[in-house]
């Protein structure tokens, strides 16, 4: 199996391969030579420079490596080439197996307005919206007809890139320009369409699995409403607002869409659910999702291993009624971003890492001490997943895990996650897609005097240690500098 990805997801796929006794082949760009996925794989091949188009998006190069390494199949992970129908086709044309839905399914569902038509066809409700828009004038006219706020979305792909909420007519032109640019960069296609914006909605998605024999099952939903810039930060299952009745409806709707599309392998059908529990189809993600572990820990199923089995032609080994969901799971995406500075991305050297462990905690991570976080890729560093027999236990374990976790050297999203798990909206499960916009860092006023004293002392020691090392670095004479550094060791 060739794993055409990097970071935590490459490691995740390699683990599934090893669990099944398959050899896993990694590929890496120039800046990823030291990465964990390279070291975990049985073999590893360089595929080019750091820029994605020169390496992880270089389809021809990746297929060439797969053939040279005598691979039987390619797993694309998420992002990069995972939703590129031409790549899926090229893999098959090269005589290899593509782990994911076939190119024709990706084409059908990847064009978002075609997917909306398909959903309507099988009686799944769809948010009021348009077909791909000709130009900004036509778009503005459509926006005025639907009524503000509207959502400007790329027709060529999902995942939140190139998406804009437009609140007023006078902001429309700027949003159109920004979204067109982003959509072109992300999907190579500038086409945009419009949807009515549903205020205070929840983003609920349904995991499905389909085998090559035409059987489709749903595994359960994930609430992914906690997002910033339409990128998810926390996901959980079951959704705290989802009733048994709504779950069954979403599952059935997802299966109808998948059956109609002739879906094969793992996928996710996304919905927006409003405050009254009314749902609308959003899109289908024709790939493995970042947040798949949430579903894995509540169902006890290994979604990636099942992807490999389905790609190998095996039928699904269970029926819908045999899928049992136990307890509750939450995932926090720890990213190299500074939540105290508007989630600006950070790159640099990870000086120290300690990952949590213990009952109910799973870590899917690409982190290691000494890791240089490159600026070329997605900011996701690690996923912390907590399971509990109920939501309260999962929250308790997640708080504990986040408190145990240490990442030093670069800012990470940990302060946000630590605060979020104590947020009243989160605790009561009444959050929505605007949660991140409203978050505030936890106050240190409640630090005990002893804790504050220890922190103050450490702050002074840290400052002194840094001043000393700076003084050493300033010394002109390399011999005396080396001598003094030795003396300090």
Partner 1 sequence: MRYEVTLDDRRLRVDLAGDGRFTIDDRVVAADVREIVRGRQWSIVLEGESHEITVVTHDPLRLDVDGRDVHATVSDERTLRAGRGAVGTRTGRVELRAPMPGLLKTVHVNEGDTVERDAPIVTLEAMKMENELVAPIRGRVTKLNHRSGTKVEGGAVLAILVAE
Which residues here bind partner 1, judged by CB under 8 A? Answer: 340, 351-352, 402-412, 414-415, 418, 441-445, 447-448, 450-463, 465-466, 469
DSSP alpha helix (H) spans, 206-302: 244-261, 292-299
Closer to partner 1 by Cβ: residue 141 or 456: 456
DSSP alpha helix (H) spans, 134-243: 136-146, 172-187
Closer to partner 1 by Cβ: residue 137 or 459: 459
Question: What tokens does 74 get?
Answer: 């390619």
Report how far residue 183's alpha carbon sits from residue 190's, in angstroms, rounded to the nearest whole number. Answer: 5
Closer to partner 1 by Cβ: residue 391 or 400: 400
Least Cβ distance, residue 162 to partner 1 (angstroms): 31
Least Cβ distance, residue 456 to partner 1 (angstroms): 4
Residues paired with 164 in a beta bridge:
152
Least Cβ distance, residue 455 to partner 1 (angstroms): 4
Closer to partner 1 by Cβ: residue 319 or 445: 445
Least Cβ distance, residue 466 to partner 1 (angstroms): 6
Q: Is residue 240 within 8 Å of residue 222, measured between CB atoms?
A: no
With residue 150 as reference, give the H or E element that holds it: strand 150-154
Closer to partner 1 by Cβ: residue 351 or 357: 351
Nearest to 261 by CA among 93, 91, 121: 121
Handedness of CA 310, 4, 162, 429 (dihedral sign): positive
What is the β-pairing status of strands 328-335 and 25-29?
unpaired
Nearest to 164 by CA among 186, 182, 147: 182
Closer to partner 1 by Cβ: residue 60 or 454: 454
Report how far residue 92's alpha carbon sits from residue 300's, in angstroms, rounded to the nearest whole number. Answer: 31
Least Cβ distance, residue 264 to partner 1 (angstroms): 44
Closer to partner 1 by Cβ: residue 144 or 347: 347
Beta carbons within 8 Å of 177's beta carbon, 6+ residues apart: none
Least Cβ distance, residue 429 to partner 1 (angstroms): 23
DSSP code string of 53-96: GGTTT-HHHHHHHHHHTT-SEEE--SSTTTT-HHHHHHHHHTT-
Least Cβ distance, residue 384 to partner 1 (angstroms): 13
**For residue 55, what are the CA distances in angstroms to 28, 32, 273, 310?**
7, 11, 38, 28
Question: What tokens does 336 get?
Answer: 């190299």
Least Cβ distance, residue 478 to partner 1 (angstroms): 21
Catalytic one of 287, 333, 397, 418:
287
Nearest to 81 by CA among 182, 192, 160, 157: 157
Instruction: Identify whether 287 is a catalytic site residue.
Output: yes
Q: Crossing angle for the helix pair 103-110 and 112-121, nearest 10 degrees?
A: 90
Q: What 3-state class would DSSP assign to 338?
A: strand
Omega before 149 within 30 of 0, i.e. cis: yes
Beta carbons within 8 Å of 251's beta carbon, 6+ residues apart: 206, 218, 220, 221
Least Cβ distance, residue 12 to partner 1 (angstroms): 26
Closer to partner 1 by Cβ: residue 327 or 415: 415
Closer to partner 1 by Cβ: residue 95 or 358: 358
Active site residue ranges: 287
């Amino acid at each position: 199996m060739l794993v055409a990805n990097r970071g935590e997801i490459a490691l995740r796929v390699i683990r599934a391969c090893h669990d099944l006794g398959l050899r896993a082949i990694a590929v890496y760009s120039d800046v990823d030579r030291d990465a964990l996925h390279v070291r975990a794989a049985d073999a590893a091949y360089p595929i080019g420079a750091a820029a994605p188009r020169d390496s992880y998006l270089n389809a021809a190069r990746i297929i060439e490596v797969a053939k040279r390494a005598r691979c039987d199949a390619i797993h694309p992970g998420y992002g990069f080439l995972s939703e590129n129908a031409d790549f899926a086709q090229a893999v098959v044309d090269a005589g290899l197996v593509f782990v994911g839905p076939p190119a024709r399914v990706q084409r059908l569902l990847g064009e978002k307005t075609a997917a909306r038509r398909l959903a309507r066809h099988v009686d799944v409700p769809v948010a009021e919206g348009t077909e791909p828009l000709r130009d900004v004038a036509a778009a503005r006219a459509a926006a005025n007809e639907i009524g503000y706020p509207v959502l400007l979305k790329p027709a060529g792909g999902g995942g939140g890139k190139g998406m804009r909420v437009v609140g007023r007519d006078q902001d429309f032109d700027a949003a159109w320009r920004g979204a067109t640019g982003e959509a072109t960069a992300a999907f190579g296609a500038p086409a945009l369409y419009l949807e009515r914006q549903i205020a205070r909605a929840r983003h609920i998605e349904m995991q499905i699995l389909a085998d090559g024999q035409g059987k489709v099952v749903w595994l359960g939903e994930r609430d992914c409403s906690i997002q910033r810039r339409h990128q998810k930060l926390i996901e959980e299952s079951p959704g705290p607002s989802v009733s048994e009745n709504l779950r069954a409806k979403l599952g059935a709707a997802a299966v109808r869409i998948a059956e109609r599309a002739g879906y094969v392998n793992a996928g996710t059908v996304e919905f927006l659910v409003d405050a009254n529990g009314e749902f609308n189809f959003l899109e289908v993600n024709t790939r493995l999702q970042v947040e798949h572990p949430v579903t894995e820990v509540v169902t006890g199923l290994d979604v990636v291993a099942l992807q490999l089995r389905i790609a190998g032609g095996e039928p699904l080994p269970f029926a819908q009624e045999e899928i049992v969901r136990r307890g509750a799971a939450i995932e926090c995406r720890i990213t190299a971003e500074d939540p105290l500075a508007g989630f600006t991305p950070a790159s640099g050297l990870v000086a120290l890492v300690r990952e949590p462990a213990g009952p109910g905690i799973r870590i899917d991570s690409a982190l290691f001490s000494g890791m240089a976080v490159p600026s070329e890729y997605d900011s996701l560093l690690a996923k912390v997943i907590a399971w509990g027999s109920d939501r309260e236990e999962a929250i308790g374990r997640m708080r504990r895990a986040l408190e145990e976790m240490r990442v030093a050297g670069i800012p990470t999203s940990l302060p946000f996650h630590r605060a979020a798990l104590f947020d009243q909206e989160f605790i009561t499960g009444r959050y929505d897609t605007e949660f991140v916009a409203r978050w505030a860092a936890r106050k240190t006023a409640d630090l005990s005097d002893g804790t504050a004293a220890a922190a103050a002392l450490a702050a002074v020691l840290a400052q002194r240690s840094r001043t000393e090392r700076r003084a050493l670095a300033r010394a002109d004479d390399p011999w005396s500098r080396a001598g003094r550094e030795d003396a300090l060791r």
